[in-house]
Amino acid sequence: MSDKQAIVLAFSGGLDTSYCVLALREQGFEVHTAFVDTGGIDADQKAWIAERARELGAAEHHELDAGQPLWDQFVVPLLWSGARMLEQYPMLCSDRYVIVQQCLALADELGTKHFAHGCTGMGNDQLRFDQSVRSLGDYEIHAPIRELQRQTSHVRAHELELMAEAGIEVPESASRYSINENLLGVTLSGQEIDEFGVPGDDTHVWCRPRSEWPAKRLELTIGFERGRAVSLNDQAVSGPELLATLNRQLGAYGVGRHIYTGDVSIGLKGRIVFECPGIDGLMIAQRALREAVNTRLQNQFHQTIANRWAELVYTGFFFEPHKADLEAYLESASSHVTGVVRLATEGGAMQAVAVGSRYLLKDPDAVYAQSAGWTPEEAEGFVKLLGQSSTLAARVRK
């Protein structure tokens, strides 16, 4: 160990965090790069990230596994809630919270209070990183990209120029797009995406274009216990393994590709392409089961809780006590979400085509549109009383 102050940098190997290594070294820090493996990339890519850290001059590179914590802390309550920001985006950025936890644990091991990230001053990621750090302890936050914005408005061009001067090769895709890939999915921004143009063909990462879809229809079953996905095609499987398998299988059929425009907390519009085949499959299946076993009032109230939970997670309040309160309700409301759902796709779209559970709210004496366990007179009286207030209003307001 050198006499320099150690600092832990959340490192992805991308352009921004690569610049951070150079900037932090220039400031005199002993840089410990930490790649927190939240899934989505293979061994060759991880080896490349480690080599990139060494090439940039990191004092030591650390690889930390966070697949299971990401599943437990985020995916499970995500499925309980079925939440999507603005009913579209399932917060694929939420690996940031687990990354912060893992990096701060490493900082504690190294005996330092210095933590760095590669967020800009324009997006929501800075909220997710900074607020999480402040919620989890007393650390000093360093954000070299945010500081760079004090010097230039052309951040990416400046970074590319510095990389070239240092003799560091930058992949062509990184020079065109900012790409984030993890167990949850892939997000891309930059170039024509930011400008509200048509995303290029090379923005397809996991979700294959229609010309490559398999001809055979895909069907699979997902089993749930108390709202937790526990099996695939009747075989018990861990959460991370289940999600990775669904990403491969459903992505081959083009399932899970979206374009989303969100309101960044500081007032900008942020546009991304995102792909989440596994998350889409799980959310479609879980919702089909949840709505079949829970009561009308539970299902009506569910969206209120889901929207609030999504807002907290999206805007950086992952460790806010209010979020834990919401999750206590969601877990309770999932207590009977146990059963099996069959999913089917021929490409692009996917449906939950069958639902089975011992908790289905199904009256053996009544089937919708087929048979009823009440008389026509009882139905007529119910309709009359249910609409009585509206009927009276129509009469007295003529």
Mean pLDDT of the chain: 92
pLDDT at residue 175, as a whole number: 57
Higher confidence at residue 346 or residue 176? 346
pLDDT at residue 176, as a whole number: 75
Lowest-confidence range among 103-112, 166-175, 252-261? Answer: 166-175
Q: In whole angstroms, what is the distance from residue 280 CA to residue 257 CA?
A: 9
Q: In whole angstroms, what is the distance from residue 8 CA to residue 30 CA?
A: 9
Q: In whole angstroms, what is the distance from residue 378 CA to residue 394 CA?
A: 24
3-state SS of 108-169?
Answer: HHHCCCEEECCCCCCCCHHHHHHHHHHHHCCCEEECHHHHHCCCCCCHHHHHHHHHHHCCCC
One DSSP character per residue, 314-330 reads: HTT-TT-HHHHHHHHHH
Q: Which two tokens stand for residue 395?
A: 């009469």
Residue 323, pLDDT > 60, answer yes
pTM above 0.85, yes or no: yes
Q: How far is CA 231 from CA 66, 228, 234, 278, in A?
A: 21, 9, 6, 13
Query: Beta strand 178-182 with 185-189: parallel, antiparallel or unpaired?
Result: antiparallel
Residue 154, pLDDT > 50, answer yes
Q: In whole angstroms, what is the distance from residue 337 CA to residue 283 CA?
A: 13
Neighbours of 146 (CB within 10 A): 18
Could you give all domains of the chain from N- to C-terminal order, each with its CATH number? 6-176 (3.40.50.620), 185-356 (3.90.1260.10), 366-398 (no CATH)
What residues have CB less than 8 Å from 327, skipping those under 6 apart?
77, 80, 309
Q: How far is CA 115 from CA 20, 153, 200, 232, 323, in A?
A: 12, 25, 35, 39, 25
Mean pLDDT (whole number) for 124-139:
95
Mean pLDDT (whole number) for 236-251:
97
Q: How far is CA 176 from CA 10, 90, 170, 172, in A?
A: 22, 24, 10, 7
pLDDT in tens, 252-278: 999 999 999 988 777 778 899 999 999
What is the sign of the dihedral through the CA atoms of 95, 99, 100 and 105? positive
Residue 1, pLDDT > 50, answer no
pLDDT at residue 274, as a whole number: 96
